Amino acid sequence: MSIYKKKKFRLSPPQVMTLGFLFMIFVGAELLWLPISSAGEGRLPFIDALFMATSATCVTGLSMINTGAHLSTFGEIVLILLVQIGGLGFMTMSTLIALVLRRRISFQERLILQEAMNHDSTEGVVRLVRKVLVYALYIELAGALLLALRWSFEMPIGQALYFGVFHSISIFNNAGFDLFGALPNRPSSLIHYVEDPYVNIVSMLLIILGGIGFIVISDLLTYPQNKKLTLHSKVVLTASAALVVIGTIVILVFEFTNTQTLQPLSPIGKVLSAMLQSVSSRSAGVNTLDISSMRQATQFFIVIMMFIGAAPGSSGGGIKVTTFVILLGALLAMVRGKEEIVLFRRRISKDRIYKAITFALLSFILIVLSTMILSTTESFSFLGILFEVTSAYATAGMSLGLTSQLTQFGKVFIIILMFVGRLGPVSLAYTLTPVPEKANFRYPEGKITIG
């Protein structure tokens, strides 16, 4: 018998997450590829089915087809289930099944949940998952009923309820898929409701609640008892509110005289549509204005907003608002000659700063390289390709019309971008590389001139 014990092969949490998402995507693609998923005769080409499954599982919202017109009811249900599972995370859904079956959650599973939920430790992570499921159910149910009530005035009650459930799940999970293509002479997304305060406000609330993350929602619900918020919640809420206000003002300024977007609308319609576009642009993919008709300055601003993204622990993408705030904090600290980043009287540790810089820089490099590559393979403007690439990577779901014109290579490339964007380049790097060994020594310090 060998004196050496064989190492037990065990997947790391990032590897489990990666394989889980891949499994969901390919199962979803197979289901959407079936003839029963198509509204007409025949079936979707497999590459289009794979694209749609990836877009739904990664809660992106980019679409090769008119969802309402080209998918059957079965296909629509498959799509929205992928959105729900992808938005909450497959490990969250697996934990739900385990809790229902009264099975004990192992420590390894808690580690994976910690990774999936962006939680600081394994302590309380199962309790957080329970809260996530309850919050999501109540918010989506409330959204579905509110939207169904509005749409019951223009369609049969059964269809209104179905539309309410589908769009509530889609909007809350920041996916942006819609079924209005099934209605005659109706534009896609929420363009028909550009001046409808009810639909706009309900949609914005769903997007905001889905984008701030469940950790913040939990904090807000316990605030009446605790009378305090964590630093994470303070940063997310403050940064999100500031970005919504800034985004609304910028869109109003640039589009105010644009005859194809804001100019024909009433004063209330202008503010509502600018605000919804500001809220939606960081991840949701819902729009009441035609993005392709906007001025290039506005489109480029939306690219920046998509890059920033939503909050950690949410279904939104991008580099995350917390990363953006840390980068701004580092800039201000350097300008002021300070050695530390301080937010709300709390010092940010150096490992968090390094992680924020690494994540932002990796994301920036990936978007730049992807834009350069697709600029040589796709017949579209540079801004349009940059917009599409950023939207795919940040899982924002907005498009200037390039999605339906992609070549086969372009489709595969965007599929990979959506997948990498949902997992995050750092998590994917941990998946593909072995655990680094701790160094036993340190090199002497050197100095490099900066600036």
Mean pLDDT of 233-253: 95
Taking Cα atoms as reference points, which of 58, 28, 77 lies closest to residue 179? 77
CA distance 17 to 23: 10
Q: What is the pLDDT of residues 250-291, one digit of tens each?
A: 999 999 999 999 999 999 999 999 999 999 998 888 899 999
Q: Does residue 183 sit within a domain?
A: yes
Q: What percent of the chain has pLDDT over 70?
A: 83
Q: Does residue 401 sit within a domain?
A: yes
Q: Does residue 262 sit within a domain?
A: yes
Q: Does residue 274 sit within a domain?
A: yes
Q: Does residue 8 sit within a domain?
A: no
Are the CB atoms for 68 and 182 separated by under 8 Å?
A: yes
pLDDT for 101 equals: 47
Q: What is the pLDDT of residues 407-423, one digit of tens each?
A: 999 999 999 999 998 88
Q: Does residue 434 sit within a domain?
A: no
User: What per-residue string of b and e applies to 219-234 under the rule 16 or more CB within 10 Å gives b?
Assistant: beeeeeeeeebbebbb
Backbone angles phi, psi at 71, to 5 degrees: -105, 145
Q: What is the pLDDT of residues 421-449, one digit of tens each?
A: 888 765 655 555 555 556 666 778 776 76
Q: Does residue 432 sit within a domain?
A: no
pLDDT for 135 equals: 85
Mean pLDDT of 37-66: 90
Query: In the predicted model, what is the mean pLDDT of the chain?
Result: 85
pLDDT for 68 equals: 86
Q: Which domain holds residue 92?
A: 13-427
Q: In total, how many domains does the chain have?
A: 1
Q: Does residue 445 sit within a domain?
A: no
Are the CB atoms for 163 and 73 separated by under 8 Å?
A: no
Are the CB atoms for 186 and 192 separated by under 8 Å?
A: yes
